[in-house]
Amino acid sequence: MDPSPVTCFFNRPEDIPPETLDQIRDLIEEGSGVGTSWIRENLQDAFLIGYAEHDGKVVGTSTHKYPKEAYRKKIEAATGLDLQGYLERGYTAVRPAYRASGIGGRLIRGLIERSEGKKIYVTIRMDNTPPLKMTYREGMILAGTFINERTGHELGVFANQRPPRKRQG
Would residue 135 count as lying in a domain?
A: yes
Sheet holding 7-11, edge to edge: 7-11, 48-54, 57-65, 87-94, 120-125, 154-159, 141-147
pLDDT attached to residue 3: 46
pTM: predicted TM-score of the whole model, two decimal places:
0.87
pLDDT at 1: 47
What is the domain range of residue 82?
7-159
- Confirm whether 2 is domain-assigned: no
Classify residue 164: in a domain, yes or no.
no
Confirm whether 74 is domain-assigned: yes
- How many domains does the chain contain in total? 1
The CATH code of the domain that includes 73 is 3.40.630.30
Per-residue DSSP letter, 83: -
User: Mean pLDDT over all residues of the chain?
Assistant: 89
Model pLDDT, residue 164: 79
Residue type, 77: A
* Model pLDDT, residue 32: 58
| 135 touches 124 (CB < 8 A) | yes
Percent of the chain with pLDDT over 70: 93
Looking at residue 74, its amino acid is K
Write out residues in the chain with pLDDT < 50, as ranges: 1, 3
Beta strand extents in the chain (DSSP E only)? 7-11, 48-54, 57-65, 87-94, 120-125, 141-147, 154-159
- Domain membership of residue 168 (yes or no) is no
